Amino acid sequence: MRIVIIGGGKVGFAIAAQLTQEGHDITVVDKDRRIVDNISDQLDCMAICGSGATVGVMREAGVDNSDLLIACTAQDELNMLCCVFASKLGCASTIARVRTPAYSEQLYLLRDELGLSMTINPELTAATEMFRLLEIPGVLKRDSFAHGRVEIVEVIPKPGDPMDGVRLMDLPKKIRCHIFVGAVQRGDETIIPGGGFTLMAGDKVYLCAPATEIVHILRAIGEYRRKARNILLIGGSTVAEYLTAMLIKADAKVKLIENDAARAEYFAERFPEAEVINAEGTSELVLKEENIDRMDAVAALTTRDEENLILSMYVGAHGTRQIITLVDHSEFSGLVTNPDNRLISPKQMCADEIVRYVRGMQNSTGSAVVMLHHLADGGADALEFHVNESCRNLGKKLRDIRLKPNILIACINRRGKIIIPGGADSIETGDTVIVICGSNRVILDINDIFATEG
């Protein structure tokens, strides 16, 4: 597909890198020559220096003959204007990055008038992920499929836990729950396991199960914890604003530290239910005064990666059970060794969302990918397909179907009934199927998972 990206900053670069890797014809437009040169040096795509909101530059970038335009500059108004121009020039689809909370609430009414196919809000997406993690503290990551009916959760068994030293084929009998282990990360290796694989303490284990049974399963495997009620947010970023609103709605006790007086006053006026402190959140004295050791969870949400990482390490040393760290550079993940510390990268989540949309555009007539989540730090992918009559092997028992190596069928959603599949189950038209595979495979259609016949 021909795709033009307006804005080559952190988000634009992440989107371009991922879509280029998938073989798309990418052109990036940015008015900063240094950004353009950096993209040209690091990515296999075209980069143009100029204003993406001018028709001349748009024509030079080939917007009028493109399948998709993605506007992801730092300015919401500019992004919306780019999409309007692109739509008028004949670009098939447009996506705008819109960060301002007030705009996000109103854009639904204006999508047709602005020519928007989709809007993305990395900060809102990141805040939503953080909220989901705080709702069930026993997991390090939660990914939803089948309209929220199915979840894949990441857990790390400790020595002596019910999963430690157990073969996968024996796990359901031991914990008396029907679950599916789709991937295991052991050290630097990501494994798509078979029934004879033995779990070990310290593994990152990715469990697939009906959403209604997640809490029951966490109790069974010894990973359940009390829901976080006392939560400290450090930094009054846009992500913090979205997250505070969600937490207050869920009746959590929120304390927020922000060093900018005007920003702190804004939070205090908008969220009277929260306790807002105007102080330096990186100060050890301030953190001790605010009883950091009594918090159920702490989220480091300043606008600087370095501050957030140092804060999260300090908080972890004081025994906080759940820590969330906001980062722009997902490359920092190797610096965090505390298994209770979860790094959230808005730019990477945004790139993943765009890739899901593009994959759906690529094959809208077949059984195409409608949802994509990365597992095991990118070592595996979980993909959701809607199955239609073009799918091979319809009605066949799974035990009689050969899949390509390192691919598992993790779950089947049949008209709302969630099936953790066994050999006697089958795939039918209308099903939603969740597949887990190694990240080295590019799968666009469900037929790509089947081994070649003959």
Q: What pLDDT is recorded for position 297?
A: 92
For residues 91 and 64, the answer to whether their CB atoms sit within 8 Å is yes
Reported as a pLDDT band with limits 50, 70 and 90, residue 425 is: very high
Query: Can you tell me the mean pLDDT for 85-98?
Result: 90
Q: What pLDDT is recorded for position 172?
A: 84
- Examine the pLDDT at 342 and tell me if it is beyond 70: yes
Comparing 112-126, 186-200, 205-219, 309-323, which segment has the lowest mean pLDDT? 112-126
Report the DSSP beta bridge partners of residue 233. 256, 299
- Examine the pLDDT at 271 and tell me if it is beyond 90: yes
Q: Each residue of 236-263: pLDDT tens digit?
A: 999 999 999 999 999 999 999 999 999 9
Q: What pLDDT is recorded for position 192?
A: 94
Q: Each residue of 370-388: pLDDT tens digit?
A: 777 888 888 898 999 889 8
User: Sign of the CA dihedral 386, 392, 398, 402?
Assistant: negative
Q: Each residue of 161-181: pLDDT tens digit?
A: 889 999 999 988 888 877 899
Q: What is the DSSP string of 109-174?
A: HHHHHHT-SEEE-HHHHHHHHHHHHHHSTT-SEEEEEGGGTEEEEEE-PPTTSTTTT-BGGGHHHH
- Examine the pLDDT at 212 and tell me if it is beyond 90: no
Chain centre distance of CA 290: 31
* Helix ranges (DSSP H) in 291-421: 305-317, 346-362
Backbone angles phi, psi at 276, to 5 degrees: -110, 125
Q: What pLDDT is recorded for position 325?
A: 93
In angstroms, what CA-CA distances link 67 with 1, 86, 92, 112, 355? Answer: 6, 10, 5, 18, 14
For residues 323 and 342, the answer to whether their CB atoms sit within 8 Å is yes
Q: What pLDDT is recorded for position 367?
A: 55
Q: What pLDDT is recorded for position 147?
A: 80
Q: Each residue of 27-70: pLDDT tens digit?
A: 999 999 999 999 999 999 999 999 988 999 999 999 999 999 99
Of 144, 133, 151, nearest to 299 by C-alpha is 133
- Examine the pLDDT at 364 and tell me if it is beyond 60: no
In angstroms, what CA-CA distances link 152 with 73, 145, 182, 209? Answer: 32, 8, 9, 7
Q: What pLDDT is recorded for position 249?
A: 93
Averaged pLDDT of the chain: 87
Domains of the chain, each with CATH number or no CATH: 2-120 (3.40.50.720), 226-320 (3.40.50.720), 351-449 (3.30.70.1450)
The number of beta carbons lying within 10 Å of the beta carbon of residue 102 is 9
Q: What pLDDT is recorded for position 349?
A: 84
Burial of 63 (0-12, 13-18, 19+ CB in 10 A): buried
- Examine the pLDDT at 435 and tell me if it is beyond 70: yes
Q: Using alpha carbons only, how large is the chain's radius of gyration in Å? A: 23
Residue 373 is given by DSSP the state: E
Reported as a pLDDT band with limits 50, 70 and 90, residue 429 is: very high
- Examine the pLDDT at 368 and tell me if it is beyond 70: no
User: Sign of the CA dihedral 204, 209, 212, 215?
Assistant: negative
CA dist 308 and 319 (Å) reads: 17
Percentage of the chain with pLDDT > 70?
92
Report the DSSP beta bridge partners of residue 326. 344
CA dist 33 and 29 (Å) reads: 10
- Examine the pLDDT at 7 and tell me if it is beyond 90: yes
CA dist 60 and 11 (Å) reads: 22
Structure tokens of 416? 């709302």
Reported as a pLDDT band with limits 50, 70 and 90, residue 22 is: confident
Q: Each residue of 101-121: pLDDT tens digit?
A: 676 666 656 666 666 778 888
